[in-house]
Amino acid sequence: MDYVPHTPEDQKKMMQTIGIAGLDDLFADIPEKYRLKQLLNLPPAMSEQEVWGLMQQIGAQNVIPAVTLTGAGAYHHFIPAVVGHVISRSEFYTAYTPYQAEISQGILQAIYEYQTMIAGLTGMQVANASMYDGASAMAEAAVLAAKTLNRTKIVINRSVHPQYRQVVKTYAWSNGYEVVEVPYADNGQLNRSVLAEAVDHNTAAVLVQTPNFFGIIEDITSIEAAVHAKGALLVSGFTEATSLGILKPAGAMGADFVVGEGQAFGNPMNYGGPYLGIFASTDKFLRKIPGRLAGATLDKDGQRGFVLTLQTREQHIRRERATSNICSNEALCALAAAVYLVCLGKNLKKLAELNFQKAQYLKTHLSRLEGWEPVFSGPVYNEFAMRCPDAKVVNRRLQNEGIIGGYALENEYPELKNSLLLCATEMLSREDMDRIVSIAR
Amino acid sequence: MDLIFEKSRPGRTAGGIPVCDVPEIALDQVIEQRLLREDVDLPEVAEVDLIRHYTTLSRRNFGVDVGFYPLGSCTMKYNPKINEDVARLPGFTALHPLAPAEFAQGDMRMMYELQGFLSEIFGMADFTLQPAAGAHGELTGVMMMKKYFETRGDDRRRILIPDAAHGTNPATGALCGFQTVTVRSNAEGGVDMDHLRELMTGDAVGLMLTNPNTLGLFERNIEGVSDIVHSRGGLLYCDGANANAFMGKTRAGDLGFDVIQLNLHKTFSTPHGCGGPGSGPVGVSDKLVDYLPVPRIVKDGDRYAWSEDFPDTIGRVRAFYGNFNVMVKAYAYIRSLGPDGLRKVSEVAVLNANYLKEKLKPYFDLAYDRTCMHECVFTGHRQVRESGVHTSDIAKRLLDYGYHPPTIYFPMIVPEAIMIEPNETESLETLDAFCDVMIAIAREAREEPEKVKSAPLTTPVRRLDEVRAAREPDVCWKG
């Protein structure tokens, strides 16, 4: 099945118009010795029915878990039916970036509304149309800070998602910046004094996360002054977007940038992507932030309309002087997030409260098991770290029951032996959790 | 039309929350009150309001399913529906990225095979699927070039980029700490070989070449280009944005390229989604395999596993493994087409572009009059000179006729550029109808220039004031 509509007659007619004898004439600019003489070594073409069967078969080689207890940057939430229906409108999903505003008002307005909701939730004045994911959004914020301040040091807390730290390190290395990692405090929160000491006059950005990788809610007001006193910028991240439903936004606590993973807003876990990077900032950086921005304006007749705006920030105009090379973003995922937020409305708070209650329940009941205790004492949202007698055995037992267990923290934190990072969202029923506790016992 | 916020009424909702089935405790018993927010400021609408809002918005949007979309350099081909359906199978949507490998064998198999297919199609040693978009792939590719020289203790500082390149190329070079140096195009639209020879010194990491280039022209001197770059110890990078032109006809690796980034959302038919998600796999030659991002899939017997054990890797460029669900669609596409189908894609894409070029050439001036690949570039010169009608006016007038305009004002080396990429899924009738409209607009430009200049006349909004949008930025609704 090749989706090419041409009949042999069509092809002949077109070749006559062009004045060629065969299709190969069109490829004469390819030096003869590099022209492929045989077919590519690929499996043969299939009909739609055969492809459907094959993909069913590949999909079935996965095991869909009964319950997923891992969060760690991707979260299992219920997705209301309206989300899938809206993003399946092919006027949305088969469109390109809205360069021609007059026939792209649909996505431009939807993105403007998305930006408004994200700015409100993060407590910022500006949000862009999305980045690739939470990790790259954080890395781009760090690069922007360094370029803006002309400084070369980036300070990052070790309680930031390990993969986000890896991405920041890759971006920093490529730009020639130094990354300094700062340890967390015993309760799992930021270590204020150590962090303050690490910030100097060459520090461009301090990167933290709340809730942090351990699920612990940070009080970033406690470090804001120390960061700003040295002229550095505070980048506050998150991986669990639904936490914004109950937590005071980082924008209201002195962050210059709020960056995070928006997957939890209406996007499936999709084995890691596509997701969407949320990127918000104070007004001050409006003309510097990376990525696309939809802006309101008026048309010739004085009617409200929307365009991609402040494009002189972007690579296609600024080329090597652009602060980012981003072009495509995750617009359809941002649309899904917008529809999700409109669907829930003020109930986002209720949903976040429900997540909090579920996690408290599971944490409390696991804590009652012999040899189990919370690793940290800091406050948590829907994710928490538990020390247990043997993390491997617990995960194996859960796995045997079709349950994806906790994230083994020892993978990235050698000091945290037999510690599992567990997540409880609204998808876990009390019955599920009681079962989990009995399997873990 | 009203914003969703303007439709909000207190007390409405489209999304109910389940009753809490566990004993509740007060939030502030755990989280200090000052770390909690009082309210979320989100719109309150009923489900029917939500659906009508977004349905109305969708009808103010133009996609490939609506009509012909010859947006040059963007390969807006038809997106087969089976690919959307298979990507929604629970096996591909429901798995957590950190699920144990035992749970994810199907997902990993698909990724592993896709890497293999892309390696075969483009003649590369291996591929990474991690980058989320084309520009992200560029960044990943140039990072690997940087690492290659770094591990050799070779401190090269410059990267060469032709003047016809996409803006992402120089921006990428700069983000990898390189000084970008522009290589001139020659009179026939290829790389100026003398200029390349002069610039490609031992201080340059190599050349980022789009091939076919943004003029839609295949680099005839590719062998010479490759020789010059490699003879000075450099690496040759292929921006694969235009890969739809040569599948099954030639291979980037065979042509001497060391790196190529693809755009699955162009060449491999995955939908663009209004600007994403894309997927930007990067292929490398043997020289660069060690520097691929981690984690990589390793196959042991018939089991797949993730491994980070590659000491020379550049690291990670995003969390997890890339835009997985987009890859599912590209995989299904490759399996549908097979080797002859992919070759046919490129042959017909090139046929369509040359057909359009021949039909329109009497009415619009060609930037370079030679056989093009999958796209052709005209200049609106004649129209400006004859009637003061600019390329932007022509583009806006096309909206009235129900077409998405071509890419305009790019490449920058062509004044008033009109870059048309018809792609293989468009029929002869569609091309003829489009040509008729272009010819009609050329006539209007001569006879009724004011009409063209005041277009569009039939769209939901008229021309928008972009200057106002930039001078008085309004990117969030203030109420």
How many domains does chain B divide into? 2
Are A3 and B315 in contact (CB < 8 Å)? no
Domain final residue pick, A294, A315, A344:
A344
Q: Which of A292, A277, A274, A279 is nearest to A99 (CA)?
A: A292
Is B458 within the bounds of a domain?
no
**What is chain A's mean pLDDT, rounded?**
97
Are B316 and A52 in contact (CB < 8 Å)? no
Domain final residue pick, A282, A312, A344:
A344
CB B116 within 8 A of CB B296: no
B396 touches chain A (CB under 8 A): yes
Return the H-helix or E-strand segment holding A356.
helix A347-367
Residues B298 and B218 in one domain: yes
Q: What are the backbone dihedrals phi and psi of residue B350, each rounded to the nearest 5 degrees, phi first?
A: -75, -40
| Smallest CA–CA distance from B427 into chain A, residue | A5
Domain final residue pick, A344, A376, A411:
A344
Distance from the Cα of B30 to chain A's closest Cα (Å) equals 6
Per-residue pLDDT at A313: 81
Residues B253 and B330 in one domain: yes
Residues A298 and A382 in one domain: no
Residues β-bridged to residue B207:
B160, B236
Residues A73 and A110 in one domain: no
A402 touches chain B (CB under 8 A): no
Is residue A104 pLDDT above 90, yes or no? yes
Q: What is the CATH number of the domain that holds A385?
A: 3.90.1150.10
**What is chain B's mean pLDDT, rounded?**
97
Is B33 within the bounds of a domain?
no
Is B86 within the bounds of a domain?
yes
Residues A357 and A336 in one domain: no
Residues in CB range of B141: below 8 A, 6 or more apart: B237, B259, B260, B261, B282, B284
Q: Of chain A residues 96-155, which have a CB less than 8 A from chain B?
A: 96-107, 109-113, 115-117, 119-121, 125-127, 129-130, 132-136, 143
What span, in angstroms and rounded, lies between the C-alpha atoms of B78 and B64?
Answer: 6
Residues A296 and A388 in one domain: no
Are A91 and B65 in contact (CB < 8 Å)? yes
Q: Name the DSSP letter for residue A43.
A: P
Mutation target to probe the A interface, by most A beta carbons within 10 A, among B1, B20, B318, B348 is B318
Task: Give per-residue pLDDT as tens, B137-164.
Answer: 999 999 999 999 999 999 999 999 999 9
Long-range CB pairs of B57-60, under 8 A, 24+ apart, other chains included: B57/A105, B57/A106, B57/A107, B57/A109, B57/A110, B57/B1, B58/A86, B58/A89, B58/A91, B58/A92, B58/A106, B59/A91, B59/A106, B60/A103, B60/A104, B60/A105, B60/A106, B60/A109, B60/B1, B60/B460
Residues B355 and B318 in one domain: no
Is A48 within the bounds of a domain?
no
Task: State the Cα angle at A289 between A330 and B214, rounded to 5°.
Answer: 60
Task: Give per-residue pLDDT as tens, B287-337.
Answer: 999 999 999 999 999 999 999 999 999 999 999 999 999 999 999 999 999
Return the H-helix or E-strand segment holding A408.
strand A407-408
What is the separation of C-alpha A313 from the centre of its chain, rounded to a whole number of angstroms?
Answer: 22
| CA distances, B124 to each of A319, B108, B312 (Å) | 28, 20, 19
Residues B346 and B330 in one domain: no
Is A30 within the bounds of a domain?
no
Domain final residue pick, B299, B315, B336:
B336
Among the partner residues A102, A104, A347, nearest to B17 by beta-carbon distance: A347
Q: Of chain B residues 29-68, which have a CB less than 8 A from chain A?
A: 30-32, 34-37, 39-45, 47, 50-51, 53-66
Are A269 and B358 in contact (CB < 8 Å)? no
Residues B319 and B355 in one domain: no
Are A327 and B133 in contact (CB < 8 Å)? yes
| CA distances, A285 to each of A124, A213, A288, A320, B176 (Å) | 11, 27, 5, 19, 23
CB B347 within 8 A of CB A26: yes
Residues B128 and B255 in one domain: yes
Residues B277 and B160 in one domain: yes
Residues A391 and A255 in one domain: no
Residues A258 and A176 in one domain: yes
- On chain A, the residues whose CB falls within 8 A of the CB of B97 are 73-74, 269, 271-273
Is B471 within the bounds of a domain?
no
Q: What is the CATH number of the domain that holds B345?
A: 3.90.1150.10
What span, in angstroms and rounded, lies between the C-alpha atoms of A115 and A125?
Answer: 9
Q: Which of A215, A183, A222, A243 is nearest to A375 (CA)?
A: A215
Per-residue pLDDT at A322: 86
| Smallest CA–CA distance from A395 into chain B, residue | B100
Task: Give per-residue pLDDT as tens, B449-478.
Answer: 999 999 999 999 999 999 999 999 999 999
How many domains does chain A divide into? 2
Residues A257 and A352 in one domain: no
- Residue range A153-174: mean pLDDT, rounded: 98
Is residue A391 pLDDT above 90, yes or no? yes
Q: What is the CATH number of the domain that holds A200?
A: 3.40.640.10
Q: Name the DSSP letter for residue B371.
A: -
Tokens of A249: 């936004």
What span, in angstroms and rounded, lies between the C-alpha atoms of B12 and B460?
Answer: 29
Residues A288 and A165 in one domain: yes
What span, in angstroms and rounded, lies between the C-alpha atoms of B106 and A61?
Answer: 4
Is B38 within the bounds of a domain?
no
B272 touches chain A (CB under 8 A): yes
Task: Give per-residue pLDDT as tens, A306-350.
Answer: 999 998 888 888 888 888 999 999 999 999 999 999 999 999 999
Residues A113 and A262 in one domain: yes
pTM above threshold 0.95: yes
What span, in angstroms and rounded, lies between the C-alpha atoms of A382 and A356?
Answer: 5
Residues B314 and B363 in one domain: no
Tokens of A356: 């909090």
What residue has token string 């300070």?
Answer: A155
Are B62 and A103 in contact (CB < 8 Å)? yes
Confidence of residue B80 (pLDDT cuts 50, 70, 90): very high
Residues B324 and B427 in one domain: no
Among the partner residues A99, A136, A360, nearest to B317 by beta-carbon distance: A136
- On chain B, the residues whose CB falls within 8 A of the CB of A117 are 42-43
Query: Which residue type occupies A60?
Result: A
Is A145 within the bounds of a domain?
yes
- On chain A, the residues whose CB falls within 8 A of the CB of B405 are 100
Residues A289 and A430 in one domain: no
Is A43 within the bounds of a domain?
no
Please tell me the number of Cα atoms within 13 Å of B142 on its side-chain side: 36
Sign of dihedral through CA atoms A413, A417, A418, A424? negative
Per-residue pLDDT at A312: 85
| Smallest CA–CA distance from B478 into chain A, residue | A116
Residues B108 and B194 in one domain: yes
B201 touches chain A (CB under 8 A): no
Domain range spanning residue B305? Answer: 82-336
Domain range spanning residue A389? Answer: 67-77+346-440
Per-residue pLDDT at B479: 86
Omega cis (within 30) before A31: no
Residues B273 and B325 in one domain: yes
Is A10 within the bounds of a domain?
no
Domain final residue pick, B280, B311, B336:
B336
Residues B280 and B319 in one domain: yes
Is A279 within the bounds of a domain?
yes
Is A174 within the bounds of a domain?
yes
CB A91 within 8 A of CB B58: yes
Task: Give per-residue pLDDT as tens, B172-205.
Answer: 999 999 999 999 999 999 999 999 999 999 999 9
Residues A247 and A331 in one domain: yes
Distance from the Cα of B92 to chain A's closest Cα (Å) equals 6
Burial of A234-248, coded b for 16+ CB within 10 Å and e otherwise, reads: bbbbbbbbbbbbbbb
What span, in angstroms and rounded, lies between the C-alpha atoms of A84 and B233?
Answer: 51
Could you tell me what percent of chain B has a pLDDT over 70? Answer: 100
Query: Which residue type occupies B372?
Result: C
Whether ipTM tops 0.85, in short, is: yes
| CA distances, A404 to each of A275, A363, B9 (Å) | 21, 17, 41
Are A70 and B139 in contact (CB < 8 Å)? no
State the pairing for strand pair B126-128/A126-127.
unpaired
Residues A316 and A335 in one domain: yes
Domain final residue pick, B285, B306, B336:
B336
Per-residue pLDDT at B353: 98
Q: Of chain A residues 207-246, which have a CB less than 8 A from chain B?
A: 217, 219, 244-246
Among the partner residues A17, A43, A354, nearest to B17 by beta-carbon distance: A354
Is B181 within the bounds of a domain?
yes
Per-residue pLDDT at A323: 83
CB B178 within 8 A of CB B158: yes
Q: What are the backbone dihedrals phi and psi of residue A205, each rounded to the nearest 5 degrees, phi first?
A: -145, 145
Are B97 and A269 in contact (CB < 8 Å)? yes
Q: What is the CATH number of the domain that holds B206?
A: 3.40.640.10
Confidence of residue B19 (pLDDT cuts 50, 70, 90): very high
Tokens of A316: 């296609």
CB A289 within 8 A of CB A258: no
